[in-house]
Amino acid sequence: MYFAKRVFIVLVAVSFLSACVTTTFQTSDSLKDRRAQEGLRIVVIDPDVELSELTAGGVTIPQADWTEAAQGFLKENVRRNLSEYDVQVVYAADVADEALAGEEELQVVKLHGVVGRSILLHQNVPGQQLPTKAEKFEWSLGPDVQVLKDKYGADYALFLFVRDSYSSAGRVAMIAIAAVLGVGIQGGVQIGFASLVDLDTGEVVWFNQLARGTGDLRQAEPAAETVDQLLANFPG
């Protein structure tokens, strides 16, 4: 819990300084070797997304109806983006439904969230970089991804992770009052990342992160723009 809060606070600070921050990391050598092959197959894992309301007191409360709408918009626009590339694409079962996805698949999705948050921390925060990661981008989900290769017959898996929050009326009022007093109070933020994982090795071969104080996954048009940002520089 402390780790998650720490990453969140750091990225809130980043988003407060800039309207939109995106960064792409890629292990180019391994990806180039595979990119020339024909018939590569990507399985798209259902987005791991949660939308929350930010209260006047700074507490985020998950909103199920917002999250459900965002899930649909994200899936629709991932399909739109990937249709532009000459690759075979299959779509995984609903990760929110254990009966469809299976426990092993759900664990891989959770593992991706943990590894992705580690990347956010150790690739971006001064003083938090790991010595072993200083010279190159090198992260892996390990052998657990084999379950996806066996189930979907894919070479790669594409994961999306998004956490989005929106200020309540009370929070908006506090922000306005604080601004008059010359004090800055953060509103809602949108934080996410997308990863392309090699299912033979577990290696994260491409990673794109997004952190900003704007965006709205509750509506179709801005949700499409968010997916465009998350999949910017996708190595299709």
Tell me the pLDDT tens digit for each residue of 183-225: 666 667 888 999 999 999 999 999 999 888 888 899 999 999 9
pLDDT at residue 102 is higher than 70? yes
Please check whether residue 119 lies inside any domain of the structure. Answer: yes
Look at the chain and report how many structural domains it folds into: 1
pTM: 0.82
Average pLDDT over residues 89-99: 69
Q: Which secondary-structure segment (H or E) carries 11?
A: helix 2-17
Please check whether residue 43 lies inside any domain of the structure. Answer: yes
**Helix, strand, coil proportions of the chain in percent (round to 5)?**
45, 25, 30
Please check whether residue 46 lies inside any domain of the structure. Answer: yes
Please check whether residue 76 lies inside any domain of the structure. Answer: yes
Report the pLDDT value the prediction gives residue 12, as an integer from 0 to 100: 46
Please check whether residue 236 lies inside any domain of the structure. Answer: no
**8 Å CB contact between 230 and 210:** yes
pLDDT at residue 18 is higher than 60? no
Average pLDDT over residues 51-80: 89
Please check whether residue 235 lies inside any domain of the structure. Answer: no
199 or 173, higher pLDDT: 199
Instruction: State the DSSP string of 136-191.
Output: S---B-GGGGHHHHHHH--SEEEEEEEEEEEE-HHHHHHHHHHHHTT-------EE
Q: Which domain holds residue 201?
A: 2-230
Residue positions counted in the chain: 236
Report the pLDDT value the prediction gives residue 157, as an integer from 0 to 100: 95
Burial of residue 38 (number of CB atoms within 10 Å: 0-12, 13-18, 19+): exposed
pLDDT at residue 70 is higher than 90? yes
Please check whether residue 94 lies inside any domain of the structure. Answer: yes
pLDDT at residue 77 is higher than 80? yes
Please check whether residue 149 lies inside any domain of the structure. Answer: yes
Contacts of 200 (CB under 8 A, 6+ apart): 149, 155
Residue 34 to residue 40: CA distance in whole angstroms: 8
Supply angle C-alpha 211, 212, 215, rounded to 5: 115
Q: Which one, of 120, 43, 44, lies nearest residue 77 by Cα? A: 44
Average pLDDT over residues 116-140: 74
Per-residue pLDDT tens digits for 31-48: 656 655 666 889 999 999
